[in-house]
């Protein structure tokens, strides 16, 4: 068991919620970030607390610089430290070819999927680095296999955002390493969560070599490994869990 502190963005549903629950089960004190799913975030926190863990929910748009600063300040106030960050908040966007994208759509998706990760990572580094009073830490950036294969038609912008996170993670790992901060990427494949549009999971399940889609609990277990002491020598890596797809 540990008494470390973890912040999970996009922690109210899907993979993020499973990460929060599993981490709390290992003794982490958890901040569950959400943007609009307040009821779902409260449910996650209630489940953690009922099991004897410590957690609180914090609502903010991770693309909003001031709001993110306020969220990290609240983590400081409640828990007094930060040991781990899982950057998971994101949006899929509408199914749309590049030629039909508006500037507003492009900007909003990149703000959430890229800018939000950078802002949150910046605030984590400001707390984890020894020169700021920290003792190192773990950052896991949740990407996607779309960042590796370019995504499916109509999802190019989403794939671009995840490819950017892959590159960001590798660069950030070099900055964090001297301070004892590991930075890794987790790339899930097709996972049975409501992040997918209706019907997508069922229609693509047979395309997965293992013959089924992944469960969010499985993905969370991979992320928890990257946060663990067992992964202490693992940085700049990408853990892909896609069933071979």
Which single residue is written with the structure tokens 């790339």? 187
Let me know if 158 is a catalytic residue. Answer: yes
Return the SS3 of 178.
helix
State how far the alpha carbon of 86 is from the alpha carbons of 94, 101, 102, 222, 224, in Å.
25, 29, 30, 12, 10
Q: By C-alpha distance, which of 4, 16, 15 is closest to 54?
A: 4
Please identify which of the residues 28, 34, 58, 158 carries the catalytic annotation: 158
A 10 A CB-CB count for 112 gives 21
CA distance 225 to 218: 11
CA distance 57 to 80: 16
What positions carry a catalytic annotation?
158
């Amino acid at each position: 068991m540990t008494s470390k502190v973890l912040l999970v963005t996009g922690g109210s549903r899907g993979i993020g919620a499973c990460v929060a629950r599993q981490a709390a089960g290992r003794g982490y004190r958890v901040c569950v970030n959400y943007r609009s799913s307040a009821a779902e975030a409260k449910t996650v926190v209630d489940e953690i607390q009922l099991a004897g863990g410590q957690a609180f929910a914090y609502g903010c748009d991770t693309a909003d610089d001031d709001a993110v600063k306020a969220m990290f300040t609240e983590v400081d106030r409640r828990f007094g430290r930060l040991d781990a960050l899982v950057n998971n908040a994101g949006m899929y966007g509408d199914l749309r070819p590049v030629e039909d994208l508006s500037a507003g759509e492009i900007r909003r998706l990149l703000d959430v999927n890229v800018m939000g990760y950078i802002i949150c990572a910046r605030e984590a580094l400001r707390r984890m680095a020894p020169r700021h009073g920290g003792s190192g830490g773990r950052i896991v950036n949740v990407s996607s296999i779309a960042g590796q294969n370019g995504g499916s038609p109509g999802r190019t912008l989403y794939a671009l955002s995840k490819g950017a996170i892959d590159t960001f993670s590798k660069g950030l790992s070099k900055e964090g390493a001297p301070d004892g901060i590991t930075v890794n990427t987790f790339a899930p494949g097709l996972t049975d969560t409501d992040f997918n549009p209706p019907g997508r999971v069922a229609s693509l399940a047979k395309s997965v070599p293992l013959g089924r889609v992944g469960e969010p609990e499985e993905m969370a277990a991979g992320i928890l490994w990257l946060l663990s002491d067992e992964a202490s020598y693992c940085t700049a890596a990408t853990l892909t869990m896609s069933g071979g797809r």
